[in-house]
A and B are shown apart, each in its own frame.
Chain A
């Protein structure tokens, strides 16, 4: 029974993708060279990778189950065999890759054009397979061939690496080793809530809630503003990493070919929170503040009032309040504050923050320098709000990063893109899990018969310039709550391809002009 429905899904999607070249036998697609594939791994990437992993801390929440969908799940769908199946279950993954994963958009995103180019064909993918073997240097000429092999291998995780000078699968046949090297990749950022453990009070480790997710909103606001306004980057995609973090992909053509030195420059330009667990004061800035820092402070100040002082209440605890005092200048002032707080334990953070100015104004200290105090307070606001970037991810051209739209194996949630203009609406705990999505497809079937929807959809597709001819039915992802995310991804990719096409035309015209001389 399950097989039958899989067949169905298959024919639907390949109908849609038929514009691509018909799949041919994949070169060395599954010739079991698993362990061999690990050979060229750079040590530092490996270490870095393990920590940027979302799996390092085992989930504290129970595996996603399907609480209420069991009676409504239609018979004959894969879901009814797996009410409590894990997100990494092969059957779940098969249905997901077959019916929901936006292969064509992913292809266009990395290919920068509707017709296959080396941007895609020479791109490295790294797959984590069912038996936990990690296979690097995979590559695919087209989206169809990629989809076909993914249905074959059912990887629990897909990572995206750089574009190489030659096809990564052929790396061992090139004459000298230096002829095989990475030449382009998006500039990536990784921000993770575990790095906020010393300032968040609601959760720790891999756990998150809406309260601490506000730190991610702050991070996106600040980094997005800097990348767009300061560096002039345009194509920035933010992606939920599936559990406790967020990734950014900067896709502008000029950015993709940046060398490591330039990547490091951008990363360090953005880095403000420095120092390890033992470093003490984490923010040390020159005055006057750089325009980027001033702007960030303006963006972050409102968050500091509500989300930090009121919600997180970071200094109610005595030990954490002691840390606050170490960040303030002037011994008489801190002693006065200490006495005041000792006298009234359980004082809220907002009250303590207000106390600083109140005590300063009361003249408790003769030696107090008002400007120094203001600067210290600015530094504190930044320490408790400014984005904490995992900077290593951004510095290297050849760093691997998890692909958008894969499923986080622990939570089952899809790594969906986030529209930065609608940041406040995004709730990580409301992101659909793969099990929910598959159930939604089945529920949609139950209410089938909406012809209007199909026509409307066909129209949209024409506008996008995508052939709508061969489609007899709407796609599965459109029946689910994944729809807005795929649509956002599509519009992002279309804008990127448009820019790419325009700049190519412009360049060709310029070159043609040059020829006339």
Chain B
């Protein structure tokens, strides 16, 4: 499972032999040496460790990664993240530089090396987990590479040891493209004279191309040396990505037992009434749908899956869409839309789709990060994808006029804490009910923690609004 094909990276670098040949080229057993603080995790470990070490090291690394992931969910800046992570890293996964006087250099690096590979095994089972692992490991790597305690000399030695074959540009190119290169160096005039530029094939630095952080000409990317972090990371990611791809499992379904609300009338004709308990993203979709009698594809997808998460069954969902798209004929509906709705429910589609019961309702994380809305599209998260005026207008339409709430939302949005804004609105809308629920001890504070899923928003909102009605049968289950 840990097999890696090094030839994949670039045909020019074919002199890199298969690591197994390299690693075991000498017949005798050899301790892995760790000349650098950082590790590119290209070679798997071979020595024995104890079971206790195996477990403890994995747990320690997992703690670090989980915290790092939480930082990104809270949209912390790199500086905030670094400050937040420093004590944790020192406690669980210290990694000192060569210049430090620490006597445990080798042990620290061994732990880092082994724990990475143990978790790599653990995260290999599904596509989702692999992507998550790659993401947080890349974040950790970036954090360490940019760590101020690393001396530039040591970092450069590490980068050079990677043998990445970056071509420095010559003076002629520097002259020819002077104005283009200057445009990329930004405001700091005069700096570009000293700045080093590398030239690589553009597809080796896709993330820099994507963000237009490099100059492109004839398929070559001209990379300023300060972006070399990205280049190193761009090289690391395919290595991490190259985990076994043989265990594809369907997207785990958002189980309806945790999301459905007992006693609620979840039917096509009742969606209008229920929509008062929807979060802003879904309210906006609902309003757009009612206004235009149409939604574009990602809007339909986001909304269909949300309704499915409410417990709206397939039959009712088809009725809902059919009646909502009232400007089109039955024929058009059957031709263009029916199949998509059934597919979202896993009623049709490939084996894995059907077994998994279709797709899960989107979480806030997914809505915030994937497929930002384009022209004419209504999906996404209003707190993130609307500008402030339109967001305020939407909130006022759904009945939020309180100056301090709107101000708070504005600040949250500016700090990019979109789910904080959403939770702020939730708490405002339900403030009386929340107070009652707390006072009567109906809901524990754990049940009132931050909402990170639109379906959770609905469930909590519905339950709170119906606290008094129906007595005990709307008692909160542990979610």
Question: Cβ of A50 and Cβ of B209 under 8 Å apart?
Answer: no
Residue B359 is within 8 A (CB to CB) of chain A in the complex: yes
Question: In whole angstroms, what is the CA distance A294 to B184 when docked?
Answer: 12
Q: B244-288 interface mask toward A, CB cutoff 8 Å, 1 = contact, 0 = none?
A: 011010000000000000000000000000000000000010000
Interface residue tally on A, bucketed by range: 35 or more
Among A48, A232, A278, A294, which residue has its beta carbon within 8 angstroms of that of B394? A278
Residues from chain A with a CB closer than 8 A to the CB of B215 are 290-291
Contacts of A48 in B (CB 8 A): 297
B349 touches A43 (CB 8 A): yes
Is residue A269 contacting chain B, with contact meaning CB distance below 8 A? yes
Residues of A within 8 A of B296 (CB): 51
What is the minimal beta-carbon distance from B68 to any residue of chain A, in angstroms? 22
Partner of B374 from A132, A232, A276 at Cβ < 8 Å? A276
Q: Say yes or no for A30: interface residue by CB 8 A criterion.
A: no
Q: Is the CB of B203 within 8 A of A390?
A: no
Which residues does chain B contribute within 8 Å of A425, judged by CB atoms? Answer: none
A295 to B358, CA, bound (A): 45
**Closest-CB distance, A365 to chain B (whole angstroms):** 21
Query: Once the chains are docked, how many angstroms separate the CA of A390 from the CA of B376?
Result: 12
Checking B207, B246, B344, B373 against A275 with a beta-carbon cut-off of 8 angstroms, the contacting residue is B373
Given A276-B374, A277-B377, A289–B183 Cβ distance below 8 Å? yes
Name which of A86-94, A193-201, A399-407, A451-459 contacts chain B: A193-201
A residues 130-147 with Cβ under 8 Å of B? 132
Interface residues in A370-393 (C-beta closer than 8 Å to B): 388, 390-392
Produce 1/0 per residue, A76-97, CB < 8 A to B. 0000000000000000000000
Given known A132-B335, A229-B218, A276-B380, contact A43–B387 (CB-CB < 8 A): no
Chain B residues with CB under 8 A of A51? 296-297
| Interface check A280, CB cutoff 8 A | yes
With both chains docked as a complex, state the minimum distance between the C-beta of B227 and any C-beta of chain A, in angstroms.
Answer: 14
Decide yes or no: A50 and B373 within 8 Å by CB, A41-B350, A266-B209, A276-B385 being known contacts.
no
Per-position 1/0 for A256-292, Cβ under 8 A of B:
0010011011101100011111111110001011111
Q: How many angstroms between the C-alpha atoms of A463 and B438 in the bound complex?
A: 86
List chain B residues, Cβ under 8 A from A132: 335
> Shortest beta-carbon distance, A449 to chain B, in Å?
48
Given contacts A43-B343, A280-B387, A280-B389, contact A176 B298 (CB under 8 A): no
Q: Across the interface, which residues of B come within 8 angstroms of A265, CB to CB?
A: 203, 206-207, 209-210
Known A280-B389, A290-B183: A50·B219 in contact at CB below 8 Å = no
> 8 Å CB contacts to A: which residues of B340-380?
340, 343-344, 348-353, 358-359, 371-380
Residue A38 at the chain B interface, CB threshold 8 Å: yes
Cβ-defined partner of B350 (8 Å) among A40, A53, A258, A279: A40
A50→B380 contact, CB < 8 A: no
CB-defined contacts of A229 to chain B, threshold 8 Å: 217-218
In the complex, B320 has a CB within 8 A of chain A: no
B-side contacts of A176, CB under 8 Å? 246
Count how many pairs of residues, one from A and one from B, have CB atoms less than 8 Å apart in the complex: 158
| In the assembled complex, B57 has its CB within 8 A of some CB on chain A | no
Residue ID in chain B nearest A252 by CB atoms:
B219
Q: Is A56 in contact with chain B by the CB < 8 A criterion? A: yes
Q: Do residues A50 and B337 form an inter-chain contact, with CB atoms below 8 A?
A: yes
B386 in contact (CB, < 8 A): yes
B339 within 8 A of A: yes
Assuming the contacts A232-B219, A275-B385, A279-B386, asked whether A46 and B210 have C-beta atoms less than 8 A apart, the reply is no
Interface residue ranges of B194-210 to A (CB < 8 Å): 202-203, 206-207, 209-210
- Most B CB within 10 A of own CB, among A273, A279, A280: A279
Nearest A residue to B344, CB-CB: A43
Q: Could you tell me the distance between the alpha carbons of A326 and B375 in the complex, rounded to whole angstroms?
A: 17
Interface residues of A in 479-509 (CB under 8 A from B): none
Taking a contact as CB atoms under 8 Å apart, the answer to whether A276 and B377 are in contact is yes
**Which residues of chain B have C-beta atoms less than 8 A from A293's C-beta?**
212
> With A46-B339, A232-B219 as given contacts, are A195 and B245 in contact (CB-CB < 8 Å)?
no
- Give the residue of A230, A266, A269, A278 whose beta carbon is less than 8 angstroms from that of B387: A278
Asked if residues B210 and A269 are in contact (CB atoms below 8 Å), the reply is yes
A227 to chain B, nearest CB (A): 10
| A47-B300, A276-B373, A288-B186 known; A231-B219 Cβ under 8 A | yes
Known: A40-B349, A229-B218, A265-B206. A50 touches B385 (CB 8 A): no
CB distance from A510 to the nearest CB of B (A): 10
Tell me the minimal C-beta distance from A301 to chain B in angstroms.
18
Residues of B near A40 (CB, < 8 A) are 349-350
Q: What is the bound-complex CA distance between A277 and B337, given in angstroms?
A: 22
Partner of A276, one of B300, B336, B339, B376: B376
Does A345 count as interface, using CB distance less than 8 angstroms?
no
Q: A46-B340, A229-B218, A290-B212 are in contact. Are A195 and B349 (CB under 8 A)?
A: no
Q: Is A230 touching B216 in the complex (CB atoms < 8 A)?
A: yes
Within the complex, which residue of A41, A262, A390 is in contact with B349, where a contact is CB–CB below 8 Å?
A41
Residues of A within 8 A of B298 (CB): 47
Alpha-carbon separation in the docked complex, A55 to B217 (Å): 39
Q: By the criterion CB–CB under 8 Å, are B210 and A279 in contact?
A: no
Is B55 an interface residue when CB atoms closer than 8 A count as contact? no
Collect the chain A residues with CB atoms within 8 Å of residue B387's CB: 275, 278-281
With an 8 A cutoff between CB atoms, is B466 at the interface?
no
Partner of B216 from A41, A50, A292 at Cβ < 8 Å: A292
Q: Which residue of B lies closest to A272 (CB)?
A: B212
Check A39–B350 contact: CB distance below 8 A: yes
CB pair A279–B212 under 8 Å, yes or no, is no
Tell me the smallest distance from the CB of B295 to a CB of chain A, in Å.
Answer: 10
- What residues of B have a CB within 8 angstroms of the CB of A273 in the complex? 374-375
Chain B residues lying within 8 Å of A47, measured Cβ to Cβ, are: 297-298, 300-301, 340
Docked Cα-Cα span, A367 to B219, in Å, equals 44
Binary interface encoding of chain B residues 316-339 relative to chain A, with 1 for a CB under 8 A from any of its CBs, else 0: 000000000000000010011101
Nearest residue (CB) in B for A40 is: B350
Complex Cα–Cα for A127 and B115 (A): 50
Q: When the two chains form the complex, which single residue of A53, A197, A231, A275 contacts B202, counting CB atoms closer than 8 Å?
A: A231
Does A177 lie at the interface of the complex (its beta carbon under 8 Å from any beta carbon of B)?
yes
| Nearest neighbor of A181 in chain B, beta-carbon distance | B245
Interface assignment of A450: CB less than 8 Å from any CB of chain B: no
- Whole-angstrom distance from the CB of A372 to the nearest CB of chain B? 14
Look across to chain A and name the residue whose beta carbon is closest to the beta carbon of B204.
A262
Q: How far is the CA of A198 from the CA of B343 in the complex (A)?
A: 32
Chain B residue at minimum C-beta to C-beta distance from A261:
B206
Distance A172 CA – B406 CA, assembled complex (angstroms): 56
Quick check: A44 and B301 within 8 Å, CB to CB? yes
A391 contacts which chain B residues (CB < 8 A)?
Answer: 374
Inter-subunit contact A279/B385 (CB<8 Å)? yes
Check if A392 sits within 8 Å of B212, measured CB to CB: no
A58 at the interface (CB under 8 A from B): yes
Is B382 an interface residue, CB under 8 A from the partner? yes
Give the distance to chain A from B327, nearest Cβ to Cβ, in Å.
10
CA–CA, A266 and B221, complex, Å: 12
Q: Which of B413-432 contact A (CB under 8 A)?
A: none
> Is B180 on the interface with A (CB-CB < 8 A)?
yes
Asked if A178 CB lies within 8 Å of chain B CBs, one says yes
B390 contacts chain A at the CB level, 8 A cutoff: yes
A30-83 with Cβ < 8 A to chain B? 38-41, 43-44, 46-48, 50-51, 53, 55-56, 58
Assembly CA distance A196 to B375 (angstroms) = 8
Query: Other than the known A44-B301, A274-B372, what 13 A-B pairs have Cβ atoms closer than 8 Å?
Result: A39-B349, A39-B350, A43-B301, A194-B376, A231-B219, A265-B203, A265-B210, A276-B377, A278-B394, A279-B386, A280-B389, A288-B182, A291-B215
Residues in chain B within 8 A of chain A (CB atoms): 180, 182-184, 186-187, 202-203, 206-207, 209-212, 215-220, 245-246, 248, 284, 296-298, 300-301, 332, 335-337, 339-340, 343-344, 348-353, 358-359, 371-380, 382, 385-391, 394
Closest 3 CB pairs of A and B: A280-B387, A232-B219, A276-B373
9 contacts between A and B (CB under 8 A): A41-B350, A47-B298, A51-B297, A53-B336, A269-B209, A279-B373, A279-B385, A279-B387, A280-B387
